[in-house]
Amino acid sequence: LNDEDIHHFECLRIPSTNEQRDFDDLVLGLTKVLIDSLNEKQLNKFIEKELRGGIKGGISRLEAVFKNNCIEEYEDHIQFLRKLQNLRSSSSAHRKGSNYIKIATEFEIGSKDLISVFGGILAKSVDLLDYFIGVCSSAELQKS
């Protein structure tokens, strides 16, 4: 994150209220930290040159790195990132509509309070970061 966006990281927390606005702001901040901050230029170093052009977006690029390096058990993490991006796109970034209703159901919004939902999202985020640390520490990645 650059200096102008570091507040998104510093403000991450379990919400103190069950207000939609607070939840949407936290989802927006978390996606900036986890997804928008994926360094696509660095990820490209781990993808064969001829494959790079056909890959659009940071999540797909990250998935390609895992596939190309035979990294295992990444699928749930990629799925989580895609769902989080969809939640942000259908709630915080745009007006809520039918897409929001679908993704809200996947995150159990409505059947759980927003405080619990975001707590679960943060827990999955920590699992994701732990996974990244494990992959990077194991030196399984090879530059192309």
pLDDT digits (tens, 9 = 90+) for 56-108: 999 999 999 999 888 999 999 999 999 999 999 888 666 677 788 889 999 99
Q: What are phi and psi of 109, to 5 degrees?
A: -70, 130
Alpha-carbon span 67 to 74, nearest angstrom: 9
pLDDT digits (tens, 9 = 90+) for 107-126: 999 899 999 999 999 999 99
Region of 109 (left: φ > 0; alpha: ψ -120 to 50; beta: rest) is beta
For residue 34, what pLDDT is reported?
95
Alpha-carbon span 22 to 28, nearest angstrom: 10
For residue 53, what pLDDT is reported?
82
Alpha-carbon span 28 to 11, nearest angstrom: 11
Q: What is the pTM of this model?
A: 0.88
Q: Is the CB of residue 106 less than 8 Å from the CB of residue 79? A: no
For residue 6, what pLDDT is reported?
85
Looking at residue 112, what DSSP letter applies? B
For residue 142, what pLDDT is reported?
65
Would you give the distance in Å from CA 123 to the centre of its chain?
12
What average pLDDT is seen over the chain? 89
